[in-house]
Amino acid sequence: MHYTTYLSATRPSTGLCDVWNWDGGATAHSLLAYCDQKPLTGGNVGGNFSGVDVDAFTFNLEGYHERFSRLGSWHWRQKGVWTKIRSGEAADCGIGANNEIWCTLLWQP
């Protein structure tokens, strides 16, 4: 998994992120945005009261499934396609059926 704490449509950075939901949420609005890509080697990063605001995530080596809320519909994302995380959201990802990655975006209380 890779994540970014910097995402901008106008201010250059060290990399680019192909974000499929630039406006946040489950509605498609693709944008190639400036970002700083950081690897997550295990555990977690960010979240309420952590002091780290994660803006988006992806899996650069394989595709993944995502949905918004536990009742949302699953959608397949190609490797390297970024999902934007809105303020107050967290991504809960794990390995499931057929050894594929499944991520649910949830509102944090």
Q: For the segment 53-87, what is each residue's pLDDT rounded down to a tens digit?
A: 899 999 999 999 999 999 999 999 999 999 999 98
Output the average pLDDT for the chain.
92
The CA distance from 39 to 57, in Å, is 10
pTM of this prediction?
A: 0.91
Q: Which domain holds residue 31?
A: 2-107
* 3-state helix/strand/coil string of the chain: CEEECCEECCCCCCEEEEECECCCCCCCECEEEEECCEECCCCCCCCCCCCCCCCEEECCCCCEEEEECCCCCCEEECCCEEEECCCCEEEEEEECHHHCEEEEEEECC
Token reading at 18: 């192909």
Least reliable range by pLDDT among 1-5, 40-44, 104-108: 40-44
The CA distance from 1 to 47, in Å, is 16
